[in-house]
Amino acid sequence: MLFQRPQPGAAVLSALLLGGVAHAYQPDQPFVEAQKKHAQQWAQEDAALDERLAELEQKYGKRPNIVYILADDIGWGELGSYSGGILRGTPTPNLDAMAQQGMKFMSHYSEPSCTPTRLALLTGRYPVRTGVDVVLWPGQQQGLADGEVTVAEMLAQAGYKTAMFGKWHVGELEEHAPENQGFDYAYYGLYNGKPYSWANMDAFYKAETIDGNGFEYDFPGTLEDYQEKYGIEVHGHFEGIKGKGRREVEPLGATSMPTMESGNIERIKNYIRDNAQAEQPFFIYWASYAQQMAASPKAFRGRPGYDVPNLQSAELAQHDDYVQELLDTLREQGIAENTLVVWVSDNGPMYAFWPNSGYSWLRGGKGEVYEGGVRTPGIAWWPGMIEPGQTVIDLLSTTDLFTTAARIAGVRDEIPSDRVVDGLDQTALLLNGNGHGRRNYIFHYSGNRLAAVRMDNMKLHIKPGSQGGLPNMEVYNITRDPGEKFGSMYYQLSYVVPFQRLIGKHRRAIEKFPHRKLPTGTFVE
């Protein structure tokens, strides 16, 4: 068996009562207590959910397909359905329609940057637990450890076919690669958008007008020059197949990011068509490169209502169209009702590239644990299963996608039980709507430091040191003050001890299940 079971005599791991059956898995300690408090209520609710899922399986003869779309750097307030769209010079009619046809999350929380959020989605764990707590760059040796269990590995245990497309960005060594982390097939790039602009720099020095951008003026000429000077090879795009390894199929180029996006939507549509009527369900993880701002897709520039000279505008227009093409393909193949599609953004906007960047109505941006950095748009679409037109305020963490997929696929007992899994099963929220979420807390890490905590409507920002014995902190009522403008601790001192107790429970679980330590020498000093 792929997953390690708890040994006899080990500390008793959590038993999640679902339909009267105990399933071993170790959530964080605050949720263990919530399970005990709501055990009877949740068991009854889950029994009804199991009946709905069983009826769907009987109708289609297999478990539901699952598609996770991870967008990049799209802030809360960017889409038209979040009061952006045309107001921001970038209409998003297709994503807005998706939200209207399904469920729009007002309180989806990612990690503050791209590598960490990808790890959270893939493993259901806060990235600091996995041993990787930084954004990865070409030449780094850190990455997704073989000992971590990915959502693809878990779904494969249920007989799912698995495929990954787009931005991998959780390690460049072969051991980190998607074809070695549970995916049957993958077409992917290793990095974020920055190296794509490096490929453009030599030409940028020599020409007045060129596709792509010159964002890094001190880059040493070409990618070959960079490798010769620093010994770091910058790879292009790979195609990987489980059991057969990978091959580099396209070098990194100044405009290869938008062409990868256009190529991947065709690959995704073909994958859906090829597997729509197969006996096995499928899982697709599409990590879009949209809004990484390496180059502007020509076909999407200058549309009516769009901010014509803006890279972000053209890239989001491209992504908006491609999401619609995916949904249309599911409908055409007659499998929309048997396919859950979840779309979320990996973090807030990267204002370092303003004005060619996204935007958020909230305070902060990418790299910060203020709401603008970690609270991002999210949409769930499942015709016939998710009631359309819903706007929910319940908390949802990217880690929850891992555990929810396990529930829908029927492999809850394959969730690894020898470590803390932070993701919570949010099937009840998806199928029953607002008020049925099971999360009332989120821990926000900045690298390896616990920097903020959400508890119910309150949010604590932890600052270094103390103030004459008083805690150095900011506390906000996020419901009243989503912009985090009024956070004086003197009005919120009653929350000092409740937050201390919540953090204490979290840290005791870390003592019991320590963070993974990667081999010596893999960290950048």
Enter the DSSP assignment of 54.
H
Q: How confident is the model at residue 4 (pLDDT cuts 50, 70, 90)?
A: very low
Domain positions in the chain: 445-512
CA angle in degrees (0–180, nearest 5) for 288-262-267: 85
Which residues lie below 8 Å from residue 173, measured CB to CB, with a gap of 6+? 141, 143
Name which of 209-223, 283-297, 477-491, 500-514 the model is least confident about.
209-223
Q: 């590239």: which residue's tokens? A: 353
Give the pLDDT of residue 19.
35
- Residues written for the chain: 525
Q: How confident is the model at residue 302 (pLDDT cuts 50, 70, 90)?
A: confident
Q: Is the pLDDT higher at 213 or at 326?
A: 326
Query: How distant is the alpha carbon of residue 213 from its chain centre?
Result: 27
Which of 424, 415, 418, 420 is CA-nearest to residue 395?
424
> Residue 5: pLDDT above 50?
no
Q: Is the pLDDT higher at 239 or at 205?
A: 239
Compute how many other C-beta atoms are within 10 angstroms of the C-beta atom of residue 232: 13
Any bridge partners for residue 342, and if so which? Answer: 68, 380
Q: 């819903």: which residue's tokens? A: 390
Any bridge partners for residue 344, and if so which? Answer: 70, 378
**Residue 130 main-chain phi, psi, to 5 deg:** -85, -10
- What mean pLDDT is reported for the chain? 89
- CA-CA-CA-CA dihedral for 138, 195, 255, 352, to nearest 10: 140
Greatest C-alpha distance within the chain = 70
Q: Which amino acid is located at 129 in the chain?
A: R
Enter the DSSP assignment of 131.
T
pLDDT tens digits, residue range 232-279? 999 999 999 999 999 999 998 878 888 889 999 999 999 999 999 999
Strands (E), 293-440: 339-345, 375-381, 390-392, 396-397
pLDDT tens digits, residue range 126-142? 999 999 989 999 999 89
CA distance 120 to 345: 12
Q: Which amino acid is located at 112 in the chain?
A: P
- Has 237 been annotated as catalytic? no
Enter the DSSP assignment of 425.
-
Which of 232, 262, 263, 228 is CA-nearest to residue 249?
263
> Residue 524: pLDDT above 50?
no
CA distance 311 to 430: 34
The mean per-residue pLDDT over the stretch 455-482 comes to: 89
Q: How confident is the model at residue 10 (pLDDT cuts 50, 70, 90)?
A: very low
The mean per-residue pLDDT over the stretch 363-381 comes to: 97
CATH class of 445-512: alpha beta
Residues 23, 108, 169, 461: which is the catalytic one? 169
Residues 23, 108, 114, 461: which is the catalytic one? 114
pLDDT tens digits, residue range 17-48? 333 334 568 999 999 999 999 999 999 999 99
Q: How confident is the model at residue 470 (pLDDT cuts 50, 70, 90)?
A: confident
The mean per-residue pLDDT over the stretch 218-231 comes to: 89
Name which of 113-117, 184-188, 466-470 the model is least confident about.
466-470
Q: How confident is the model at residue 357 (pLDDT cuts 50, 70, 90)?
A: confident
Q: Is the pLDDT higher at 35 or at 197?
A: 35
> Residue 16: pLDDT above 70?
no
Q: How confident is the model at residue 427 (pLDDT cuts 50, 70, 90)?
A: very high
The mean per-residue pLDDT over the stretch 282-303 comes to: 84
pLDDT tens digits, residue range 132-181? 989 999 999 899 999 999 999 999 999 999 999 999 999 999 999 999 99
Whole-angstrom CA distances from 511 to 229, 424, 444 are 43, 21, 18
Q: Is residue 289 classed exposed, middle or buried when 0-12, 13-18 and 19+ CB atoms within 10 A define those classes?
A: buried
- Has 506 been annotated as catalytic? no
Which of 64, 34, 108 is CA-nearest to residue 391?
108
CA distance 327 to 381: 9
Query: How distant is the alpha carbon of residue 138 from its chain centre?
Result: 21
ω before 195 within 30° of 0 (cis)? no
Enter the DSSP assignment of 180.
G
Give the pLDDT of residue 39.
93
Q: How confident is the model at residue 352 (pLDDT cuts 50, 70, 90)?
A: confident
> Residue 102: pLDDT above 90?
yes
Q: How confident is the model at residue 215 (pLDDT cuts 50, 70, 90)?
A: low
pTM above 0.95, yes or no: no
